[in-house]
Amino acid sequence: MAGRALVYGGKGALGSTIVSFLRSKNWWVVSVDLFANEEADSNVLVNPEASWTSQETEILEGLSTTLSDNRLDAVLCVAGGWAGGNAAAADMVKNADLMWKQSVWSSAIAARIANLHLKDGGLLTLTGARPAREGTEGMMGYGMAKAAVHQLTKSLAADKSGMPANSTAVAILPVTLDTPMNRKFMPNADFSAWTPLQTVAETFLQWMEGNDRPASGSLLDVVTVDNQTTFTAA
């Protein structure tokens, strides 16, 4: 076994790619998601009808049983989603609520998981969004949620944050990931400017192994141009 990792959102497009890639590299992987990932070594399921605090309780109880006394080398939170809407949209608040649940609830619970189960010197990654560094008038709920993830990342890197000793907390800030759903809904887009999921998985493994790991608190713009992807500290 090369190491132990948790993928929060392990059944989504990016999460599934990460689980599959890590398993191919002999990592033990536990997936946390609404649905089980058959490729993962273990699964902890999230009840979408539960409150934020109830989700936390159920997930932490499931992990305590699954991990026993074993510690994680990495907690990779790639849960999330997208919804639009400005202040004139009737569903703006409804969509904002969904974005908060998908991105902020998961990120905060991932931070709790890191406190309880991450090794000293381990890695926590959260998923923000590059557009949320500025105003997002056409997707206000999405922008608010992702900006909160950016703030949480900075807080986790501070002294007395509750993170394990010498651990690293970073957030990736992609623009557009090359997922099947994005291709379905944007079939005429320039795919050479979309970030391949495999590239994210490979970069995470590099950081997990201690190679070119960014400084804790880094918000990393993930930009792809002409099929070449860079991760640059914002």
142, 129 Cβ separation under 8 angstroms: yes
Maximum Cα interatomic distance, the chain, rounded to a whole number of Å: 52
C-alpha span between 234 and 232 (Å, rounded)? 6
How many CB atoms neighbour CB 85 within 10 A? 20
29, 40 Cβ separation under 8 angstroms: yes
Annotated catalytic residue 142: yes
Contacts of 184 (CB under 8 A, 6+ apart): none
- Which H helix or E strand runs over 109? helix 106-117
Contacts of 128 (CB under 8 A, 6+ apart): 146, 147, 149, 150, 153, 171, 172, 173, 219
C-alpha span between 108 and 223 (Å, rounded)? 25
Catalytic residue, chosen from 28, 82, 142, 194, is 142
Residues labelled catalytic:
142
